[in-house]
């Protein structure tokens, strides 16, 4: 069995969540205490019972935009486009339907695109609209890019734009939600602050890395698709303070983990001269990885054989469990038996 297949598990389709819990913070929370090698069943609003004064929650405030647009080739044939990343003069996108280099695609609101690069389903597309005009059109014609495993949802497009978005989202640019953050309500964040838990933000625009399946090349190079991130100086300052005072840095979501651990050397090196950090990350976190910033993690239950599962297994192992992969699969088996809800709209897990 190869490394990718060793993270496979079988999930009953009925456990895939098609809609979020209502209210948000009433989703279930599986807590894994690594020090005691113990699982506790909780509800997400009970997160406060596991956090202490002096802890720091770090969240990804990236905002999902209606990245799915539908058009017709100039020569005929329907095309679906998932916008992934603004490359300046073009957009990186996943394209569904038969296309070739040079094809022109017509959309509503007089939007036109031309395929200028193509590699399988990935393409670069130039559009006849830019700036504010382009974004206004996307707001009008675009659809929320919910993952394909969410089927038969009863939520309208208007409701999806609200539900598939964190309550603290701020910076447009993601083609998928940082789903671990979907569980938080504004009230809960306020209660955590009153409890003495600090809350800070990073920004990583979620793109191809979330959608692309793992390949043997990823394992060989130990790299994933590049994603851009920003860390404000206020977040860096709080991380350093938390570490010095013995608090825990708790990442909300794997995107936050990738951002913080990618910038760990820069954060530590520039401790006396703190500035904003902007960059990109290709980091592929696997068991054996030594975490420098992140102490704990809030995350959802992920797709089988994914890089996200490997990241979670790496943290479990880094916290003293001999085999992070084996323990993670054991936790997932427990969650399935207890009928936790899986994937983007599903329940959450806290690793301490």
For the cut 70, the answer to whether the pLDDT of residue 179 exceeds it is: yes
Residue-level pLDDT at 111 = 96
Highest mean pLDDT: which range of 94-103, 170-179, 236-245: 236-245
CA-based end-to-end distance of the chain: 30
For the cut 90, the answer to whether the pLDDT of residue 266 exceeds it is: no
| pLDDT digits 0-9 by tens, 136-162 | 999 999 999 988 888 878 889 999 999
Superfamily of domain 5-64+160-351, CATH level 4: QueA-like (3.40.1780.10)
Whole-number average pLDDT of the chain: 93
Q: How far apart are CA 170 and CA 193, in angstroms?
A: 19
Stretch among 91-105, 186-200, 286-300 having the lowest mean pLDDT: 91-105
Residue-level pLDDT at 261 = 96
Question: Once rounded to an integer, what is the mean pLDDT over residues 285-299?
Answer: 96
For the cut 80, the answer to whether the pLDDT of residue 211 exceeds it is: no
Would you list the domain boundaries of the chain? 5-64+160-351, 68-141
Task: Report the topology of domain 68-141.
Answer: Thrombin, subunit H (2.40.10)
Highest mean pLDDT: which range of 152-166, 262-276, 306-320: 306-320
């Amino acid at each position: 069995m190869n490394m990718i297949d060793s993270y496979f598990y079988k999930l009953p389709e009925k456990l895939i969540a098609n809609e979020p819990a209502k209210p948000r913070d009433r989703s279930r929370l599986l807590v894994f205490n690594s020090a005691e090698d113990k699982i506790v069943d909780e509800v997400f609003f009970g997160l406060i019972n596991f956090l202490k004064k002096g802890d720091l929650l770090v969240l990804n405030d990236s905002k999902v935009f209606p990245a799915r647009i539908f058009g017709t080739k100039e020569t005929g044939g329907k095309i679906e486009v998932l916008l992934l990343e603004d490359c300046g003069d073009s957009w990186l996108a996943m394209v569904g339907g038969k296309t070739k280099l040079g094809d022109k695609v017509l959309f509503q609101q007089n939007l036109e695109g031309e395929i200028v690069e193509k590699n399988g389903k990935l393409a670069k597309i130039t559009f006849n609209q830019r700036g504010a005009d382009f974004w206004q059109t996307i707001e009008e014609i675009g659809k929320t890019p919910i993952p394909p495993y969410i089927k038969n949802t009863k939520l309208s497009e208007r409701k999806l734009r609200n539900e598939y978005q964190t309550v603290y989202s701020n910076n447009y640019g993601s083609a998928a939600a940082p789903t671990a953050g979907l569980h938080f309500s504004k009230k809960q964040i306020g209660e955590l602050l009153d409890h003495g838990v600090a809350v800070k933000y990073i920004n990583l625009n979620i793109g191809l890395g979330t959608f692309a399946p793992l390949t043997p090349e990823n394992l060989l190079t130990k790299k994933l698709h590049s994603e851009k991130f920003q860390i404000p100086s206020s977040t860096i300052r709080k991380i350093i303070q938390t570490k010095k005072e013995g608090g825990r840095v708790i990442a909300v979501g794997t995107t936050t983990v990738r951002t913080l651990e990618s910038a760990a050397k820069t954060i530590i090196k520039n401790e006396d001269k703190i500035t904003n950090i902007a960059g990109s990350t290709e980091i592929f976190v696997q068991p054996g990885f030594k975490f420098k910033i992140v102490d704990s993690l809030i995350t959802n239950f992920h797709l089988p054989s994914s890089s996200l599962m490997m990241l979670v297994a790496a943290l479990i192992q880094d916290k003293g469990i001999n085999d992070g992969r084996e323990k993670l699969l054991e936790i997932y088996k427990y969650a399935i038996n207890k009928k936790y809800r899986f994937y983007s709209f599903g329940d959450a897990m806290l690793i301490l």
